[in-house]
Each structure stands twice: as structure tokens, then as C-alpha cells.
């Protein structure tokens, strides 16, 4: 797996991660998400959110994947080399604080408005960064994923509630003086990582194909200000092995 260029990550606020997750792991993840999408009821432990259009209701987000099934997800994240990224960016005290699926169903999946993750979190997560892994093709055709280079540089920007968008407060490229977003065009198994203050989002999926991905967020659990609802130590993650 190619190493990351930490200087360019720190400068731009994001870094692309080609070829992280193998085909078998992609298939296992998608099969689980398909089965939960088809179920009448998803276990409450996934804290599921849905998109709906007419009679069609499809999963939008599933949370706490690693906590729901460490034996499935731990080895998969280890095979994707995710702990090494956490060690490089944060150090040995890194811990997973979120692991979620972002599912943007064909024709039904709605936008994720431009935001900085840290602005939406209940806790301040020192040194936090996200690793987002594509489980399908990801491009503007199916809603994609994009972010504004350098938008992390000055820390948190004030987000505003907007009447047309129900999920959370958001940013505006022009109104907040951000650089034009770059699109992350990804193949299944490719990833992107970004800083907690990096502004990013995605558009509605008007195509006939699902756009799927999952995100793992690490923070510095060794920082005196660290507090979290869920926290999975890097050592516990790596102890789950890679087979």
C-alpha cells in the first residue's frame, strides 16, 4: 500500500488513499448493508437513518459498525491498513470514535450538505481525522463526494441552519469564502482521508446505481481533553488481527 504524504495532508486537509480495501471485503460489507437495507427493522444498535421518496425508503446511514461486530470489521480495517494511518497522523494513543456507513441509494439518496465534521460533533475530538472508503464507484454521476482544499486551515467555521436541509447546519462555498470543491473520483476499495476541519459533502444520487461508502474516525485518546461516547483503542483494533 502506498505511504501517505503527511505534508500534503496537513497542507490540503485531505489525502487520497488508492486501493485500500480488497474485493472480498467490499463484497462482505455490501452484503451486510444490503441485508440491513432489505430488513423491515434494523437493530437499534445501528442508529439507522433513512432517505425516502414516494413509497421507496432506503438506508442513508448506519452507525457503530465496529461496536456492532468487531470480529467482522476489526480484521477488515486492519487489512485496509487503517491503523497505520492513525499511528502516522495521531500516534499510538489513537482510538476509533466513529465507524459508520454512508449509503446513497439510487434515485433516493439525498445530499450531505457541506460541513466540517468537528462542527457537528458533540465532543471535541483532538487531532481527529476520517478515513472514508468507497464500496462502489464514487463520482459526480452518483452523488459523489467532494471537499474544499485548505478549508481546515483556520479551524472551525460557523455553520448555519438552512431551511431546505433537515439533517444538520452547513457551510456555503462562496458565502464562507472557501476554495471550489474538488471531486473525489473513487473506484471500489479506494479511500480518502480528511482532517476534522476539512469542509466536505456530497450531492443527491439521481443515477440508477447506489453509491456506498464507510467512514472510520480516529481521535487522540491520550489528549487530556479527550471525551467520547464510544472509543475503541488502536491496540484493541490491531489485536483483532487481519485474518
Ligand X SMILES: O=C(O)CCC(=O)C(=O)O
CB of 229 to ligand X, least distance (A): 16
User: Closer to ligand X at the Cβ: 67 or 121?
Assistant: 121
CB of 109 to ligand X, least distance (A): 8
User: Closer to ligand X at the Cβ: 99 or 221?
Assistant: 99
- DSSP tag of 2: P
Name the E strands within 35-137: 49-53, 56-62, 94-104, 112-115, 129-134
The DSSP secondary structure of 177-193, one letter per residue, reads TPPPPEE--B-TT-EEE
CB of 200 to ligand X, least distance (A): 6
Sort residue 176 into left (φ over 0), alpha (ψ -120 to 50) or beta: alpha
CB of 106 to ligand X, least distance (A): 14
List the one residue out of 62, 166, 53 whose CA is nearest residue 106.
53
User: Closer to ligand X at the Cβ: 12 or 117?
Assistant: 117
How far is CA 68 from each of CA 72, 146, 241, rounded to the nearest angstrom?
9, 28, 17
User: Closer to ligand X at the Cβ: 155 or 241?
Assistant: 155
User: Closer to ligand X at the Cβ: 96 or 145?
Assistant: 145
Binding interface with ligand X (CB under 6 A): 102, 104, 112, 117, 130, 132, 145, 200, 202, 213, 215
- DSSP tag of 117: H
CB of 62 to ligand X, least distance (A): 12
- For ligand X, which residue has the nearest CB? 102
User: Closer to ligand X at the Cβ: 95 or 186?
Assistant: 186
Residues 192 and 208: their CA atoms lie apart, in Å, by 24
List the one residue out of 76, 31, 37, 34 whose CA is nearest residue 56.
37
CB of 19 to ligand X, least distance (A): 19
Amino acid at each position: 500500500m502506498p505511504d501517505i504524504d503527511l505534508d500534503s495532508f496537513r497542507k490540503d486537509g485531505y489525502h487520497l488513499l488508492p486501493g485500500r480495501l480488497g474485493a472480498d471485503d467490499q463484497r462482505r460489507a455490501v452484503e451486510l448493508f444490503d441485508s440491513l437495507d432489505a430488513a423491515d427493522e434494523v437493530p437499534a444498535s445501528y442508529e439507522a437513518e433513512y432517505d425516502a421518496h414516494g413509497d421507496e425508503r432506503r438506508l442513508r446511514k448506519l452507525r457503530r459498525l465496529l461496536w456492532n461486530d468487531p470480529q467482522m470489521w476489526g480484521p477488515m480495517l486492519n487489512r485496509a491498513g487503517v491503523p497505520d494511518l492513525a499511528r502516522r497522523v495521531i500516534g499510538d494513543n489513537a482510538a476509533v470514535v466513529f465507524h459508520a456507513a454512508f449509503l446513497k441509494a439510487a434515485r433516493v439518496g439525498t445530499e450531505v450538505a457541506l460541513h466540517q465534521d468537528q462542527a457537528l460533533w458533540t465532543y471535541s475530538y483532538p487531532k481527529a481525522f476520517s478515513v472514508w472508503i468507497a464500496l462502489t464507484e464514487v463520482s459526480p454521476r452518483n452523488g459523489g463526494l467532494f471537499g474544499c482544499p485548505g478549508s481546515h486551515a483556520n479551524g472551525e467555521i460557523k455553520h448555519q441552519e438552512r431551511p431546505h436541509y433537515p439533517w444538520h447546519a452547513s457551510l456555503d462555498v462562496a458565502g464562507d469564502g472557501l476554495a471550489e470543491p474538488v471531486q473525489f473520483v473513487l473506484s471500489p476499495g479506494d479511500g480518502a482521508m480528511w482532517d476534522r476541519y476539512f469542509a466536505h459533502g456530497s450531492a443527491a444520487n439521481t443515477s440508477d446505481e447506489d453509491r456506498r461508502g464507510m467512514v472510520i474516525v480516529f481521535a487522540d485518546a491520550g489528549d487530556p481533553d479527550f471525551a467520547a461516547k464510544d472509543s475503541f483503542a488502536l491496540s484493541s483494533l490491531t489485536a483483532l488481527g487481519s485474518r
